[in-house]
Structure 1
Amino acid sequence: MALARRTLTPFGLWVFGAAASAPMVVLAGGIVATYATTRVTALPLTFLLVAGTVAVLAVGYTAMARQLGHPAAYYGILANGLGRGWGVAAGMVALVAYNAIQTSLFGLFGATMAAQLGGAWWVWAGIALAVVGVMGVRAIVLSTRVLAAVLTVSLLIVAAFVLACVGRPAAGGLSWEGFDASGLAVSGIGGAVAFCVAAFMGVDAPGSFVEEAIDRTSVGRATIGGVVVLGGVYALAAWAMGVAVGPGSVAEAAADPAAGLPFAVLERLGGWWVPLAELVLIFAVVTSMLAFHSVVARYVFAMAREGVLPAGLAQTGSAMRVSAPRGGSLTQTGTATVVVGAFALAGADPIGVMFTWLSTLGAMGLLCLLLAASVAAMTAPARVRGPQAGAWEWRLAPALGVLGGSVVLALMVGNVGSLLGAAPGPMYPFFLPAILTATAIVGGVWAGHLRQAKPEVYPGIGRGIPKTHAVPDAINVSI
């Protein structure tokens, strides 16, 4: 059992990472919420610093992903770098993290549509579930083209927003206070770092499509390039927002719903920009769902193919003549349906509870996995590194990434209450790190069970691409 080969170009890989991060969602939700919650005026500089940290962390991750060619990237990386038990633990954490982020978006989508058109949020979420589920079992080519189209329009709208901001600055001139390092020495910086980390989650998605890539070596360029490009886009958008309303007033404006950020600024270019941006925001949420859905489907498929999950989940379909992970896709759709249904029955706030809590859980989990992947890169045996292993990819960058990433993770965990909108004092926000820890432990225990009960399965954990091809050379080639 294998996925279709040679279907994704380097640009196609980049599209999946960038679409998962969703620039329109970061502009309309992330940047506004960060200003309002943390009151950090140096948010543009914070985005650049976090982008640099994530980019360095991604070096070891992409080096391992390129060498292994495993669709369940973190699972394969840790299995080969730290041991099979660590690999299974990482696979379980990745499934929880990616599912959490993907499912959280149904709350955001449902609430947004209900506010615009009326009706119950869970009805709109159900419609999105059906759309993403159908797309998920189709060929990757179709998904990539849809993601690319929405991402292109999203970036154009962000560019228009920046032009609208700088065209009419609040102070009569451009202010560069957003890049002043003194603005980092404030009480809300930990929360700002945590929000910025969450904005970059999804850029690691190309690692899960390595089996379908035309060129394995492009995974690193797509992932790190995505971090660099999106880091620049987010920093520029955050700076422009400060310019539009004034660095000293941006926190108050962001916290005031009547200010209408960022759409009120777009209205300066013409009234039709606002409905266009709102429409694209909705499509951006759906394409982000689809990107994360595709990653989860590949994790389920790859882990089932190696016997870690039930073998039936490794089923592939031949939609549009190219194999797709049908079993993994249906599993993810079923999981999301159960979670959405549970939140709906509980009467939970789709944004304040469902979106906020699940997206925070996912972001924290993926940051932990990036850190673990860097450690695995440093400890990987020579057979994994290959004959031309460079010190930067396998030693220096991972070490720097672990140092910087550990600081960022500590800030994120320490400020998890800010991400959740919780008042200072209660301990319940730390339930999220506990979930991730428990998941890793369960994964390790399951690996031990496989070692004892299925000795034929255990040695194959993390082995990667099989020798047989589902499709010798894919007929359909993505963009």
Structure 2
Amino acid sequence: MTTIINQSICKPPIVAAGPASAAPAATVTSTTNAALANAAAKPSDSKLAGSLGTGAIVFMVVAAAAPLTVLGGGTPVGILLGNGAGFPSTFIIAGLALALFSVGLSAMARYVPRSGAFFAYISQGINPTWGLAAATLAMVTYTAIQLSVYCLIGLQLRTGISAISGIDLPWWAYSFLMVATVAFLGYRRIDMSSKVLGPLLVAEIGVVVILSVVILAHGGAHGIDVAASFSPDAVTSGAPGVALMFSIAGFIGFESTAVYRGEARDPDRTIPRATYIAVAFVTVLYTISSFALVSAWGSDRVRQAAADTLAKGNMLQVTAQAYIGPWYAAVISFLLITSLFACVLSFHNVLARYMFSLSTHGVLPRALGTVHSRHGSPSRASLVQSATAAAIVLVIALLGADPYAQGFTWLSGMATVGFVTLMVLTCLAVVTFFIRHNIDVSLWSSGIAPGLGAVALATFLYFIIANFPTLVGDVDSSGATAAGALTYTLLGIMAASLLVGAAQVLVLKRRDITAYRNLVNAGE
């Protein structure tokens, strides 16, 4: 059945009539609402270009997930501070919850054709105030995960180059080099970025699969013990909230399939398909490869191995050297760097497109909504995003923070809190959206799956926040783990971003009534 939906952020903003020389506005047709036929579209210079297929989008999303980074960077921390040998099981738990989330996301995607991801879905499902709050939180979340990777890639480059050449530059010098490289690629057309990411992604997946097969075929340290990783006792041992934090962090970016909607070849089919493939693929890959890593050391020694290699962040390389040889450890070191690079490049693209989307609605300066005439990319938003990343890396360096134990670990934890919060809000938005509108969609897709997803993810969020002091090392006067100034500061930044986004709606209403109407009720 045909249903007209209030496209408060799906449709382009209302634009004033320009001079006769301006490009003619496109019209939007509807079979049941003739008024929409006269709605003006955005100028042609605000439309992103591209014809991405399922494979290209999956490449971008899985590259953002960065499998080798998850196995070499996040998994050792999850094992050490989380539930030890039970860590692989948390990938299955997280994957199932995200699959439920994906059902609702995909069902709603065809009714929210604008490329705004969390911003678009929460605005349509709940209201624009919550939508803008979510958009602000999303930008902080993606910025946090991107910066965590910039810290880790700086450390990895410093370690590798120092070992080969003896040149020992500070980690932040290499981080700045990566910021500049990503800035160049992000400024250009997104198709170029996809071509860069594809071969790197294939290579890193290949080395992970080969290492896992060798370890499991060898029988690990003392046999394959499935129960040690997947039994209920294994799942709940240690600090499962921290384990969930780092397993879910491995999925950050998979929902960005929706961000590329405006550049997809056939969005109604491509976006859902790419989302399901990305979730299923990374869940299986993470589970098997992390289980292989546990088996390589044995359930009784893996936590200690993670502790021993944490300072250099080379648990994966040490494992590879023991089971295959030094040359394979060198290959992994190289591909870990390219994996980290692919990750920051993907998140750069996502952040630039969030800024682009917000600018077209007057929330951010409208200059950021400019599309490059030749590359078809959100060029100005890309440049601003690069400058922001460079500035924050500088702050981290000036504070003297450890790039792995603090930069990577703490920022990843912050990002996970924001990511899970956004997914809970999106699940609720899907349910309320389909309740409000009489759309012929199955009850499973419109209510049951997203409802279950919201419950599961809200439970995850509770345990993640409760275990956050363990992650950052906060203790009370007696030395016991307890929330302190650091926990409140880092989590407070995430909470404040929600409030700032909501406040922007009120400011926009008083400052720019046209922009406010575009955000809240465009096209009516």
TM-score (norm 2): 0.84
Change (3 A) 1:174 1:353: closer
Alpha-carbon offset, residue 261 of structure 1: 2.6
TM-aligned CA deviation for residue 9 of structure 1: 0.5
Q: Report the Cα offset of residue 463 of structure 1.
A: 8.0
CA apart distance, 1:395: 0.8
Taking a change above 3 Å as real, the CA distance of residues 352 and 146 of structure 1, as seen in their structure-2 partners, is same
Match of 2:515 among 451, 457, 460: 457
1:188 aligns with 2:239: yes
**Aligned residue for 2:13?**
none
| Alignment map for 1:59-458 (pairs within 5 Å) | 59-117=103-161, 118-170=168-220, 172-177=222-227, 178-217=229-268, 218-257=270-309, 261-267=315-321, 268-319=323-374, 322-380=375-433, 387-423=439-475, 424-427=481-484, 428-458=486-516
The offset of 1:141, in angstroms, is 0.7
Q: Which amino acid aligns with 1:242?
A: V
Q: Which moved more, 1:222-231 or 1:134-143?
A: 222-231
Cross-structure match for 1:15 = 59
- The amino acid that maps onto 2:103 is V
1:375-427 Cα distance to aligned partner (Å, 9 max, x none): 111111678x6843222221111100111011111111111123334451242
User: Are the structure 2 counterparts of residues 148 and 462 from structure 1 closer, same or farther at C-alpha, using a change threshold of 3 Å?
Assistant: farther
Q: CA deviation at 1:174?
A: 2.2
Distance in 1 (CA, whole Å) between partners of 2:500 and 2:314 is 45
| 1:386/1:338 CA distance change after superposition, 3 Å | farther
Per-residue CA shift, 1:235-265, capped at 9, x if unaligned? 1012112222222221122222299532233
Question: How far off is 1:452 after superposition?
Answer: 2.6
Are 2:118 and 2:135, in contact at CA under 8 Å, matched by a contact in 1? yes
Decide whether the 8 Å contact of 1:377 with 1:398 is kept in 2: yes
Change (3 A) 1:259 1:296: closer
In structure 1, give the amino acid aligned to 2:318: A
Q: Percent identity?
A: 28
Of structures 1 and 2, the one scoring higher in RCO (CA 8 A, sep 6+) is 1
Letter aligned with residue 335 of structure 2: V
Quote the residue 1:25 is aligned against. 69
> CA-to-partner distance for each residue in 1:12-32, whole Å, 9 max, x for gaps?
111111111110011111112
| Cα displacement string for residues 119-147 of structure 1 (whole angstroms, at most 9, x for unaligned residues) | 01111111101100000011111101111
Q: Which runs of 5+ in 2 are unaligned?
A: 1-44, 162-167, 476-480
Deviations 1:427-475 (A, max 9, x none): 22132332222111111111012123322111222789x9xxxxxxxxx
CA distance in 1, matches of 2:379, 2:314: 42
Secondary structure at the counterpart of residue 111 of structure 2: helix
* Alpha-carbon offset, residue 318 of structure 1: 3.2
Please tell me whether the aligned partners of residues 368 and 381 of structure 2 are also in contact (alpha carbons under 8 angstroms). yes
SS in 2 for 1:8: coil
SS at match of 1:380: helix
Deviation, 1:93, is 0.9
1:366 Cα offset (Å): 1.4
1:261-316, Cα deviation, whole Å (9 max, x unpaired):
32233233343211111000001101100100000000101110111111111111
Residue equivalent to 2:90: 46
* Contact 1:98–1:292, Cα closer than 8 Å, also in 2: yes
In 2, the alpha carbon distance for the partners of 1:463 and 1:152 equals 44
1:171: how far off? 5.2
- Asked if 1 retains the 8 angstrom alpha-carbon contact of 2:65 and 2:254, the reply is yes
Distance 1:30 1:38 in 2: 11
CA RMSD of aligned residues (A): 2.1
Q: Could you say what secondary structure the match of 2:115 adopts?
A: coil
| Partners of 1:19 and 1:151 within 8 A in 2 | yes
Query: Equivalents in 2 of 1:139, 1:312: separation in Å?
Result: 18
Once the two structures are superposed, residues 88-136 of structure 1 have per-residue CA deviations (whole angstroms, 9 ceiling, x without a partner) of 1111111111111112211111111112222011111111011000000
2:246/2:412 contact within 8 Å kept: no
The answer for the alignment partner of 2:37 in structure 1 is none
Bigger Cα displacement from structure 2, 302-311 vs 52-61:
52-61
With the length of structure 1 as denominator, give the TM-score of the two structures.
Answer: 0.91
1:201 is displaced (CA, Å) by 1.1
Following superposition, the deviation at residue 351 of structure 1 comes to 2.0
1:37 partner amino acid = L
Structure 1 residues 312 and 235: alpha-carbon distance in aligned structure 2, compared to 1, 3 A threshold: same
Larger Rg, first or second structure (1 or 2): 2
* 1:184-216 C-alpha deviation (Å, 9 max, x unpaired): 232322221122111211111211111111121
Map of 1:470 onto structure 2: none
For residues 99 and 31 of structure 1, the distance between their equivalents in structure 2, rounded to whole angstroms, comes to 21
Task: Tell me the distance in 2 between the aligned counterparts of 1:90 and 1:463.
Answer: 18
Higher mean alpha-carbon deviation, 26-35 vs 38-47, is at: 38-47
The answer to whether the 8 Å contact 2:102/2:275 transfers is yes
Contact 1:75 / 1:462 at 8 angstroms: preserved in 2?
no
CA shift at 1:33, angstroms?
A: 1.8
Kindly indicate whether the alpha-carbon contact (under 8 Å) linking 1:89 and 1:440 is maintained by their aligned counterparts in 2: yes
